[in-house]
Amino acid sequence: MTTTSLGGDGVTSRERTAAQQPDWQAPDAVARVRAELGARHPLVDAAACHALRGELRAASRGQAFVIQGGDCAEPFADATADRMQAKAALLEDLADLFEGHTGLPVVRVGRFAGQYAKPRSSPVETLPDGAVVPAFRGEAVNGFDLAEREPDVRRLLAAYDHAAAGLDALFLNRFLPLACDGPFVQTYVSHEALLMDFEQPLVRPDWYAGGHYASSAHFLWIGDRTRQPDGAHVHFARSITNPVGLKVGPTMTAPEITALVTGLARGEGKLTLIARMGAEQVVPKLTELIAALGPMAGSVVWMCDPMHGNTRKTAAGQKTRLLADVLTEVGGFVGVLRGHGLRPGGLHLEMTPDPVAECLARPEDLVRTEPLAPYTSLCDPRLDRGQAEAVVRYAAELISPGGNRR
Ligand code: PEP
Ligand code: CO
């Protein structure tokens, strides 16, 4: 853990601990990079962030449903017109599928055009030959290739450039709003707000509503490893006007979630809780946390991330997820929320339009010793198109016909 100063970017001058920050190899370059980011254009417009917030408000009332999806770790190389088009088109198709089944409008949120930073359980990776290298933390920090594992702060500038290129591609392909030009027809972008040296310099005055907003994406979320109620990430999320997400994993306690929601849920549409409990824990843990929140549970959007609590390893040692676990978690999530008179507000998926074999439809494939292929994810295993459609169709069947409205 390192301590990051929040001063200088119009956010606050207090110092808070920021978990999961890279150990930058050239600390004197950090101030230079932050200053350069601070001088750049905002990547997204404040009005579009508020348009999304309005759509999330509708989701919190059961009048809309969110589908958020994309890579676990997005490669810089994907910031091209073709790749962005393919990713946005998959999201669009899933939205159409859900809308067709339920009649509910879908809020489209890409996990792309900036999803370049990863929290890691271990700061190092031990290779098969016993060598220990820094863990891959996303291309905003270091390279996936073993020769490029030293964190390089100049990569934050490359992250900005690639996010900008990705956003341009989305705009050219008519997926992206310049500002708020009508609800439910536009694609928004999101990423985990992890790297303070990237997010803080990109904070800008919010010309639309006053205060300050994060101009790096419309929607930012706080990961399960950086959600300390007194930590820098939570403080950052509270200080911006964007809608924000908070991952809620099985280690979340009742006092923690109460403190977090009290601090973050300022106004309808501000806070989305993204539950990622795992197929086995979703029912008991979600029940416990909803009970702890009491009436506050009705003030947020509830989304289900059925990916991150369901990671397993194959006999060959690759990370994978079983489609059956993913579906079980979605079913448990919808059931618990319904049982408490709350609205299931959306899905958060790791998915790709590419024909990969990363998640498994057949549990018996877990014991196979040959590697899954093609397996191109830089981090967690993603659903392919057919699997993502199966998850969305299942959620739609649980929620239709009109069953998400009261
Ligand atoms: C992720 O969304 O890729 C992730 C790391 O999730 P979590 O913080 O929920 O583990
Ligand atoms: Co992931």
Tell me the CA distances in angstroms from 328 to 161, 184, 225, 305, 373, one per residue in order. 39, 28, 24, 12, 25
Pocket test for ligand 1, best of 68, 71, 72, 220 (most atoms within 8 A of CB): 72
Mean pLDDT of 291-307: 98
User: Quick one: average pLDDT of 264-280?
Assistant: 97
The response to whether residue 227 sits with its C-beta less than 6 Å from ligand 1 reads: no
Average pLDDT score over residue span 157-184: 80
Cβ of 218 below 6 Å from ligand 1: no
- The pTM for the full model equals 0.95
* Residue 265, token pair as written in the block: 């849920």
Q: What is the pLDDT of residues 331-384, one digit of tens each?
A: 999 999 999 999 999 999 999 999 999 999 999 999 999 999 999 999 999 999
For the residues 269-292, what does the mean pLDDT come to? 98
Q: Which residues sit with Cβ closer than 5 angstroms to ligand 2, an ion?
A: 72, 380
From ligand 2's centre to the CA of 379, what distance in Å? 7
What average pLDDT does the segment 2-29 reach?
68
Query: Please, what is the angle between helix 27-38 and helix 155-172, to 10°?
Result: 30
- 316: pLDDT strictly greater than 60: yes
Query: At 11, is the pLDDT very low, low, confident or very high (cuts 50, 70, 90)?
Result: very low
Q: What is the pLDDT of residues 89-134, one digit of tens each?
A: 999 999 999 999 999 999 999 999 999 999 999 999 999 899 999 9
- Length of the chain equals 406
Mutation pick for ligand 1 pocket among 122, 305, 347 (CB with most ligand atoms within 8 Å): 305
pLDDT the model gives residue 176: 74
Angle, CA of 277, 122 and 68, to the nearest 5° = 40
pLDDT for residue 383: 99
Report the alpha-carbon distance of residue 200 to residue 104 in Å, rounded.
36
- Whether pLDDT at 324 is above 60: yes
- pLDDT bracket for residue 175 (50, 70, 90): confident
Domain ranges of the chain: 24-399
Q: DSSP state, 153?
A: T
Q: What is the pLDDT of residue 26?
A: 86
* Average of per-residue pLDDT values in the chain: 93
Is the domain covering 24-399 a CATH 3.40.50.300 domain?
no
In the chain, the amino acid numbered 75 is P
Ligand 1 centroid distance, CA of 402 (Å) = 31
Residue 72 marked ligand-binding: yes
